[in-house]
Amino acid sequence: MKRNQKNGKKRTLRYRVCFFGRRADITTLLHETLAPARNEYNNIQDALERGVDEKIAYSVPQHILSLVLRYERALELYDEYQQNIGTPRADEIGIAAQPTTRKHLVHFLIKSTSDKNDHAYTHYRVIVGKHKKSYKISCNCPDFLNHGGAIPCKHVLFACMLLRDKAVVERR
């Protein structure tokens, strides 16, 4: 954030997206969901780069460790998606779908990357919907549901990365 010299106000970035003719400001959504995971991940990576032992760098409270590990898996999925853009493989990993409810902005169908499932083609639905005056995100995967959304799952983090890339960034 930069400070404007004339009036002393902070200038922040605003993220706006448009899906299926619906426009939305997702700045708060990204700030609440993606930013904490990215910050904790960067803290651990910085410690590793300074030579801290991996075991020590990853010895953080359990909820932070869960968040970082999910972020790492989301990054792997996102990298694979980026390498395959424009191919059927990218559509298999994640695709935006038109919602059936007016309060929803977009639905993402995201492939499960778990080897535990008997069904290799399981997709989870990530929903970006309006709640009061801001947008919230949820997923129907067991990781998200078991934690009540307190710790975002890799599907939610991946969807936030897709939203961030689709967004038009403006200065406020």
Q: Residue 54: helix, strand or coil by DSSP? A: helix
Separation of CA 55 from chain center: 26
Residue 1 clears pLDDT 80, i.e. is over it: no
130: left (phi over 0), alpha (psi -120 to 50) or beta: beta
Residue with the two structure tokens 């651990």: 44
Separation of first and last alpha carbons in the chain: 10
Cα Rg of the chain (Å, integer): 17
- Quote the crossing angle between the two packed helices 27-49 and 62-83, to the nearest 10°: 100
Lowest mean pLDDT among 10-14, 19-23, 130-134: 10-14
Residue 95 to residues 14, 55, 63, 115, 122, Cα–Cα distance (Å): 24, 36, 29, 21, 14
CB 138, CB 126: distance < 8 Å: yes
Q: Where are the domains of the chain?
A: 13-171
Q: Give dist(CA 72, CA 153) in Å, integer.
A: 11
In this structure, what token pair is assigned to residue 99? 């919602």
Residue 80 clears pLDDT 60, i.e. is over it: yes
pLDDT at position 67, please?
A: 93
Residue % of the chain over a pLDDT of 90: 40
pLDDT at position 94, please?
A: 87
DSSP letter at 143 equals H
